[in-house]
Amino acid sequence: MAGRDNVTQATTAPCASARWQGNGLSDMRRRMVDRVATGLCWAATVLVLLMLFSILFVLVRNGVGGLRWITFVHVTLPPGQGGGLANAIVGSLIQTGLAVLIGAPVGLLVGIYLAEFTATDNRFINMVRFISDLLLSAPSILVGLFIYMIVVVPTGHFSGLAGALALSMLVVPVVVRTTEDMLRLVPLSMREAAIALGAPRWRVILFVCLRAARDGVATGILLALARVSGETAPLLFTSLGNMNWSVSPAAPMASLPVTIYQYAGAAYEDWTALAWTGALLITAGILMINITVRLGLGRNRK
């Protein structure tokens, strides 16, 4: 018996040693792969941050000089006359505000339908969801051309309302997707409890589901606002732009993106400086909206 045990130990010892060496090589390989992957992640992060800070640095360096009182109180003027961006700022606020007022309720209602009425007609719901996703990925210039054909051409003139309609078509799919996703996160037990208490379905949706998802829905609206704030292509075909004061939605209306597009390629230094200032204002506004969204999402997670 002792001889047999010695033979067994002698035959199993090399196998155990080989297995230990194999495990050691495997662990070493995993550590090397982990370090390489971590290094690549850090390199990609640093590259993205460098790109972001370089863009912000160029914007601040070239645009901060135009942050003067005259920029916010004077309208756009011919070169050399000391014009500002007041009409463009007001026009952008009016058009984006109208776009959100038009697009947000539509997107909210569609999102509620997709999330709460899934058992009614799945084929129709899938078609609506597909169209919404398609509109979400559609180029903004196509949206501008569409509004141009159905609004500008029949009426015969450009208008701020046409620009707001074009921007609202970009707001709708963002709000639809966010509203649907947020409502689906509401626990089913909350709906069942409200229905068990005798509440009708519309009250359950309005006072239970939407109230529970209101922060996420508001976040989606802010994201849509941030997206349309810097859109230029739809406004070129709809509101066109205006060198004078124009707060009437029925007339051509100035906007910061269109003014930047017109001024950036000009041969006049004052117009180029105003283009940089306008770009800085749009970037600062979008950055503030994104910060607000991040804070809202952080509060939702808590």
pLDDT for the residue 208:
92
**Prediction pTM value:** 0.83
User: The CATH number of the domain where 283 resides is what?
Assistant: 1.10.3720.10
**88 and 235 housed in the same domain:** yes
**32 and 79 housed in the same domain:** no
Residue that wins the pLDDT comparison between 159 and 117: 159
Quick one: average pLDDT of 1-18?
A: 52
**50 and 80 housed in the same domain:** no
**23 and 142 housed in the same domain:** no
Q: How many domains does the chain have?
A: 2
Helices (DSSP H) in 2-85: which residue ranges? Answer: 2-63, 69-73
Rounded to whole angstroms, the Cα distance separating 231 from 92 reads 10
Q: Domain of 26?
A: 2-65
Which of 65, 97, 112 is where one domain is finished?
A: 65
Q: What are phi and psi of 158, to 5 degrees?
A: -80, 155
Rounded to whole angstroms, the Cα distance separating 164 from 238 reads 9
* Amino acid (1-letter code) at residue 174: V
Q: How would you write 177-239 as a 3-class SS string?
A: HHHHHHHHCCCHHHHHHHHHCCCCHHHHHHHHHHHHCHHHHHHHHHHHHHHHCCCCHHHHCCC
Residue 281: how many other CB atoms lie within 10 Å = 22
Secondary structure class of 250 (helix, strand, coil): coil
∠ CA 102-105-110, rounded to 5°: 120
Residues 6+ apart with CB under 8 A from 205: 112, 116
pLDDT for the residue 246:
87
**165 and 28 housed in the same domain:** no
Rounded to whole angstroms, the Cα distance separating 69 from 85 reads 10
Mean model confidence pLDDT for the chain: 87
Which residue shows structure tokens 């370089």? 54
pLDDT in tens, 77-125: 988 888 899 999 999 999 999 999 999 999 999 999 999 887 666 788 8
Q: What are phi and psi of 224, to 5 degrees?
A: -65, -40
What letters, b where the CB count within 10 A reaches 16 and e where it falls short, cover 195-204? eeeebeeeeb
